[in-house]
Amino acid sequence: MHCPFCRHNDSKVVDSRTSDDGTAIRRRRRCTECGRRFSTLETTSISVIKRSGVTEPFDRQKIVNGVRKACQGRPVSEDDLAMLAQEVEESIRASGSAEVEAHDVGLAILPPLRRLDVVAYLRFASVYQAFDGLEDFERAIAVLRDQQAELAGQQTLVPPAARTGAAPGPRRRPARRGADAPPAEDAADAPEESGASGKQPAPRRRRPKKAAETVTQPRLL
């Protein structure tokens, strides 16, 4: 690779790092002529074959631009479109093919777009699946309803505690009452019954106080 500073055709790799998604390698190079350093980004190339037969490199931005038209007026953000394009690229790379048809790229967009927004999915599918009339739309809507009903049925089979991840709390044992302790109802009614009978409780007898002892001291005459 030519040095971007002196255009020398030889350089040495001093550092290599893989990107977070694992689809590219960033290399730090040093020119053997001028000694200056520069970075390069290496990725595996995927070619897209268009209907006309022309081949062009795969571009995420084209996917974002195409899906953005189908998402007009829908609650879909730019971050959602970027994540969708990344998911489509990962699915295409997972196929292991260096060349892919443009029609296959459009079909790879449908599953993540259906999860993102069903209205945008129907708009996009009408082009790539060549809908001819209302029957095709009705058939696609029926499939979406069946999938949503199946998903709702699976969610109802899961208990609420398992959905939230909360474990049931331990059971508390009721406290035992003593053998001599009266029931709560009897204890609450006891003061009322004593007041209703009109009998006053007998006063306690007080013990007589002892007289203070006097000590007589002898007088000296």
Instruction: Determine the pLDDT at residue 41.
Output: 83
Write down the pTM of the prediction: 0.53
Q: List, for residues 30-67, the tens digit of each pLDDT value.
A: 999 999 999 988 877 888 998 888 999 898 899 999 89
Most confident of 42-46, 79-83, 188-192: 79-83
Question: Average pLDDT over the chain, rounded to whole?
Answer: 76
Q: Does position 177 have pLDDT exceeding 60, yes or no?
A: no
What is the chain's alpha carbon radius of gyration, rounded to the nearest angstrom?
43
Instruction: Determine the pLDDT at residue 185.
Output: 47
Q: Does position 221 have pLDDT exceeding 50, yes or no?
A: no
Instruction: Determine the pLDDT at residue 149.
Output: 77
- Note whether 48 and 105 are within 8 A (CB): yes
Instruction: Count CA within 13 A, CB hemisphere, residue 220.
Output: 0
Q: Does position 172 have pLDDT exceeding 70, yes or no?
A: no
- Please tell me the distance from the alpha carbon of residue 125 to that of residue 27, in angstroms, as a whole number: 40
Residue 113 vs residue 140, higher pLDDT: 113
Alpha-helical regions (H) of 129-183: 134-157, 160-164
Instruction: Determine the pLDDT at residue 63.
Output: 92
Q: List, for residues 128-147, the tens digit of each pLDDT value.
A: 777 878 888 888 888 888 87
Residue 188's pLDDT band, with cuts at 50, 70 and 90, is very low
- Note whether 110 and 117 are within 8 A (CB): no
Q: Among the listed ranges 33-37, 179-183, 198-202, which one has the minimum average pLDDT value? A: 179-183
Say which amino acid occupies 29. Answer: R
Q: Does position 181 have pLDDT exceeding 70, yes or no?
A: no
In the chain, the percentage of residues whose pLDDT exceeds 70 is: 67
What is the arithmetic mean of pLDDT over 156-182?
55
- Note whether 76 and 115 are within 8 A (CB): no
Q: Does position 190 have pLDDT exceeding 90, yes or no?
A: no
Cβ neighbors of 110 (< 8 A, separation 6 or more) are: 121, 124, 125, 128
